[in-house]
Structure formats: structure tokens, C-alpha cells
């Protein structure tokens, strides 16, 4: 469904300007810790949205670092393929098909993971998708679906996992987005859902203080995934062209390495890629400049002939 301004077109137009405005910031270190590569030998990790993209890459990275995996997602065939890849590293894996918007079913999947693998040391709430459209014309049902998945799915994952993480002074990770720091015309549902995830992460760090459990909120920039191939109703279109700017997009395995480093180091908020960090920094410290850049880029995208 097309709702006027295409957020991908705005991002492409705005990317060069934001990058130029923050060129020096891109030199700041990205990786968690001084050396990276922290191990999770013998620990149990649970990943939602584990059937593809960032979730799959993080599951495989955790397995390479010694963790056993509980894999949660909607597509049983994809989960089993990831589980087979985890087992090929010599680690245990459970494939647990489940929709994170079903609170009771997710609770059952988490308990099955704990029972099957002997506990829980790390949980990564990664499941999510993007709904795009202008506020006036995007159906409320699509807004509701966006928040049920991206926000309530994170809350539900945290609620079910935290009692088990408390028992082992474990790690909780929430996957947000650089879009949690800024928005675009035509991207309100997604950006506002990720802003909520950012706020939830801050809240959890305050509420978990002294418990031994860390909460790391991870805000990726552009990373290779299927997100641009899924429509507002959650249907995957494998042949759809990903219009996000490819020149600044990270492969999922590279993203997974720095994400797992950040979790290992028990970071608070962690933003990557370089362009993503620059955009988030400017959005926080020069919001009027960002609005001007994005508004100008949006005007150009709106007036651009559609090919």
C-alpha cells in the first residue's frame, strides 16, 4: 500500500546531508568493550524474531561464542533452519514457533526454553516490523498492529524472561532503532514504536538497578534484513525492492557482532552504524537542524518523478 511520501526516498535524500553534518562523529568507536568477542560459554540465550535478518545473525553469533539457543519466531521452517545451523556449531538449539503478540503463547515458549535448556542467561527482544504511512491516512488497525508487535511484544518478552534472568543475574536486550531518535514524514507508526522501545529500555534500567540484571537497548541504523519487504499487514513480498540506501547498510553478521559485544558489556543504550550514530547524535543535540534537513529532503522526494 502506498501512502504518499516514501520514507526510503526521504532517507536517501537526507542521508548525505546528515552524514556531512556529522562527519567527525563517524570516527567514534562502535564496538562494545575494548576488544569485543566476549564469550557466553555454557549460557542459555533466547532470541525472538530469530528466523531471519538480525535475529538469525545474533543467534548464530551467540552460538559461535558458546551459548545454547532458544529460537522464537512465527515461521517454523525458518526457525528450524537456524536451529540446524546452531547445532552445526556444536551448541544446543530449540526451535519454538510463536507469535510474540500472543502473551500466553510467548510465556509457554519461554518456559519451554527454560525447561529444555536448563535456565536463561540472556534474552534478546528482537521481533519487529515496520508500518509506514502518513498519520492522517494510515488505518488505526495498522497502527495497533505496529504497537502490538514492536512495543507490546517487547514488554511481553521482558515480563516473561525477567524472573529467569534475575535468577542468574542475566542480560536483557531490546532492539530499537535509530528511528527512535528521529522521525520522517510517512514513517510515524514505526518511528513512534521505536521511540517507545527506547523509553522502555530506560525505564527497565532504573527498575532493575541493584538486581544484577542489565538491560541494553540497541538502536541499529541500516542493516540488511527483510523489513523493507514486509507490508503494513505483515505479509512478506520476497521480490520487493529494498529502497533503503545500500551504501550505508551493514550486513547482518557485522551488526550481530557489535550487538552481542554491547550485550556482553552490559551497555545501556547502544547506537550503530556510524551513520546511525551521527543521525541520533544530531537529532538529540540539534533537533531543529534535523527537522530542516528532513523537511527539505521530504520536499525533494515528494516532487521527484516516480520511476
Specify the residue for cell string 538497578.
209
CB 219 within 8 A of CB 269: yes
For residue 104, CA distances in Å to 44, 275, 284 come to 22, 39, 37
Establish whether 190 is a catalytic residue: yes
Q: How far apart are CA 10 and CA 140, in angstroms?
A: 23
Q: Which of 190, 222, 264, 272 is catalytic?
A: 190
Dihedral sign for Cα 52, 197, 277, 39, please. negative
What CA dihedral angle connects 106, 107, 111 and 116, to 10 degrees?
-10
**Beta bridge mates, 68:** 44
Q: How far apart are CA 277 and CA 281, in angstroms?
A: 6
Instruction: Tell me the catalytic residues.
Output: 190
Amino acid at each position: 500500500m502506498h501512502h504518499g511520501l516514501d520514507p526510503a526516498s526521504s532517507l536517501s535524500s537526507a542521508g548525505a546531508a546528515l552524514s556531512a553534518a556529522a562527519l567527525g562523529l563517524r570516527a567514534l568507536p562502535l564496538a562494545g568493550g575494548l576488544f569485543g568477542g566476549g564469550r557466553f560459554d555454557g549460557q542459555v540465550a533466547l532470541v525472538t524474531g530469530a528466523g531471519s535478518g538480525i535475529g538469525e545473525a545474533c543467534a548464530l553469533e551467540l552460538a559461535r561464542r558458546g551459548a545454547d539457543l532458544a529460537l522464537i519466531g512465527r515461521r517454523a521452517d525458518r526457525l528450524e533452519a537456524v536451529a540446524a545451523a546452531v547445532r552445526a556449531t556444536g551448541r544446543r538449539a530449540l526451535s519454538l514457533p510463536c507469535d510474540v503478540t500472543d502473551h500466553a503463547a510467548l510465556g509457554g515458549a519461554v518456559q519451554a526454553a527454560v525447561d529444555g535448556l536448563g535456565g536463561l542467561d540472556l534474552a534478546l527482544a528482537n521481533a519487529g516490523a515496520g508500518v509506514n504511512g502518513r498519520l492522517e491516512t494510515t488505518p488505526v488497525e495498522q497502527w495497533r498492529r505496529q504497537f502490538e508487535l514492536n512495543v507490546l511484544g517487547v514488554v511481553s518478552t521482558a515480563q516473561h524472561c525477567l524472573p529467569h534472568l534475575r535468577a542468574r543475574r542475566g542480560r536483557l536486550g531490546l532492539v530499537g532503532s535509530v528511528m527512535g531518535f528521529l522521525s520522517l514524514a510517512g514513517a510515524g507508526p514505526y518511528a513512534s514504536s521505536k521511540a517507545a522501545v527506547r523509553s522502555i529500555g530506560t525505564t527497565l534500567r532504573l527498575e532493575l538497578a541493584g538486581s544484577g540484571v542489565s538491560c541494553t537497548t540497541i538502536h541499529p541504523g541500516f542493516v540488511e534484513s527483510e523489513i523493507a519487504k514486509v507490508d503494513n499487514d505483515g505479509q512478506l513480498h520476497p521480490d520487493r525492492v529494498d529502497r533503503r540506501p545500500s551504501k550505508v547498510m551493514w550486513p547482518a553478521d557485522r551488526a550481530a557482532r557489535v550487538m552481542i559485544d554491547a550485550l556482553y558489556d552490559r551497555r545501556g543504550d547502544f547506537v550503530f552504524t556510524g551513520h546511525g550514530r551521527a543521525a541520533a547524535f544530531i537529532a538529540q543535540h540539534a533537533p531543529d537542524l534535523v527537522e530542516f534537513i528532513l523537511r527539505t529532503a521530504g520536499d525533494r522526494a515528494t516532487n521527484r518523478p516516480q520511476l
